[in-house]
């Protein structure tokens, strides 16, 4: 049986999102933001974040695949669902659940960067600095966490646990 151990509580997540939203709004001012959620893991974070960013924004989603149902990165990134909105000349803010090696983000920045956005920034709820590859930059990070596999608040293990309101370390017993 897998075991869950709380790493970040619901209250901690919510108050950190208050701070992130404040920092983002301070940086963008009244400019319209095109918020791009990376499916599926970012869906709860995005929902909580955009409600704190005010009215001046649009939302779109992209879906990439890298991990399949397991816990190990294959390094293969595929676009499963592309954006609907043309991002040219827009201020684009990518919303990620978690940055592990940074490979997914690297590919996404490269892909979206070719489409002439006015600006391209990233907000990630979680980052695993010990796992980042060289050159990984994230403009806004909610929490830096140890290099453990976590679930909850959008993050899954084999599609389970996405609906938890908190983040937990998942341990698979031998």
Per rule CB under 6 A, is residue 104 in the interface with ligand XMP? Answer: yes
Per rule CB under 6 A, is residue 91 in the interface with ligand XMP? Answer: no
Q: Which of 62, 94, 100, 141 binds ligand XMP (CB under 6 A)?
A: 100
Answer with the entry of ligand XMP, Mg ion, none that 151 interacts with (C-beta below 5 to 8 A by kind): ligand XMP
Per rule CB under 6 A, is residue 151 in the interface with ligand XMP? Answer: yes
* Shortest distance, position 126 Cβ to Mg ion, whole Å: 13
* Shortest distance, position 151 Cβ to ligand XMP, whole Å: 5
Active site residue 18: no
Q: Which of 46, 155, 164, 167 binds ligand XMP (CB under 6 A)?
A: 155
Phi, psi of 31 (to 5 degrees): -60, 145
**Which residues of this protein are in contact with ligand XMP, per CB under 6 A?**
41, 66-67, 73, 96-105, 149-151, 155-156
């Amino acid at each position: 049986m897998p075991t869950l151990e709380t790493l970040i509580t619901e209250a901690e997540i919510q108050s950190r999102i208050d701070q992130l939203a404040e920092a983002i709004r301070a940086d963008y001012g009244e400019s319209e933001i095109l918020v791009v959620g990376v499916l599926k893991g970012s869906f709860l974070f995005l929902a909580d974040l955009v409600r704190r960013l005010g009215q001046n924004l649009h939302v779109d989603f992209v879906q990439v695949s890298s991990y399949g149902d397991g816990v190990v990165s294959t390094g293969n990134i595929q676009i499963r669902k592309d954006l609907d909105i043309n991002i040219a000349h827009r201020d684009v803010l990518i919303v990620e659940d978690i940055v592990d090696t940074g490979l997914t983000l690297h590919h996404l920045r490269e892909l979206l960067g070719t489409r002439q956005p006015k600006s391209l920034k990233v907000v990630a709820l979680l980052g695993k600095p010990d796992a980042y590859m060289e050159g990984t930059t994230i403009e806004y990070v909610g929490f830096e966490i140890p290099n453990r596999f976590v679930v909850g608040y959008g993050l899954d293990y084999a599609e389970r646990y996405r609906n938890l309101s908190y983040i937990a370390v998942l341990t698979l017993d031998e």
